[in-house]
Homo-oligomer: A and B are copies of this chain.
Amino acid sequence: MKPELRREQILRAATSVFAAKGYHRASVSDIIAAAGVARGTFYLYFEGKREIFAELVDVLTVRLINCMKRVDLGPAAPPWPEQLRMNVLHIATILAEERELTQMLYNHALGLDEDFDRKIREFYQNLTNRVEGAFRLGQEMGLLRPELHTRLATYHVIGSVKEVIYHLAKGGDLDLTVEAMVNELLSYYNLGLLKSQPKPQTAKPPRKK
């Protein structure tokens, strides 16, 4: 069999095993059983359990990082809020597509290895910095409340998206399309949850029109 296919096959098997049992409870035996290959074959394509897990996480991470566009202030660029919305939408779309990888990440990404933990933290650091940067920009542009504690707001938004995505990936009780979900979520960020008292013109009433 073609090497790349074999790799792919093992990778797929590993994904579902990790998603189902979590990193620690998953064993190499589980993975090779799921992939239908011999023990030795596994080590022919991957350095070990940690490494195949890391690769899966990396693949997802890279896809996420690539889809996040830096906010562009050029004259031809779409408006700032729309750029933010697109970013959230892209992230959510990817995570919703890769349900197994996402579950894997959420449930068991931490605690396997100091190196590994660091990598995860770096990803979040990166994410946090980008979002906070966008928020500072928004403040400067007069779009966001100036008294906002941008770091806190950043964690607020990241946590909110993480949790919602998690439940979406887990499947079950959220009967929404990804797009609808993102729109609704953004309305929370924009308007809050309170009943809209006669609210001004620009506030982006997400979908209703």
Contacts and interface: CB of A to CB of B under 8 A. Distances in A.
A30 interface: no
Interface stretch (A46-54, A60-68, A69-77, A160-168): A160-168
A187 B165 CA distance: 23
Nearest to A158: B163
A25 interface: yes
Contacts of A81: 206-207
A110 B112 contact: no
A155 B191 CA distance: 17
B188 A192 contact: yes
A83 to B, nearest CB: 10
A156 B185 contact: yes
A115 interface: no
Copies per complex?
A: 4
Interface residues of A, number: 68
Interface string A126-163: 00000000010000001111111101110111111111
A162 B159 contact: yes
Contact of A110 (B22, B82, B183): B22
Nearest to A208: B147
B207 A79 contact: yes
Nearest to A108: B111
Given A22-B112, A151-B173, 5 more contacts: A151-B174, A183-B204, A190-B194, A196-B199, A199-B199
16 contacts: A24-B24, A25-B111, A81-B207, A152-B185, A155-B164, A156-B164, A160-B160, A162-B163, A163-B163, A187-B206, A189-B206, A191-B191, A192-B203, A196-B203, A197-B200, A197-B203
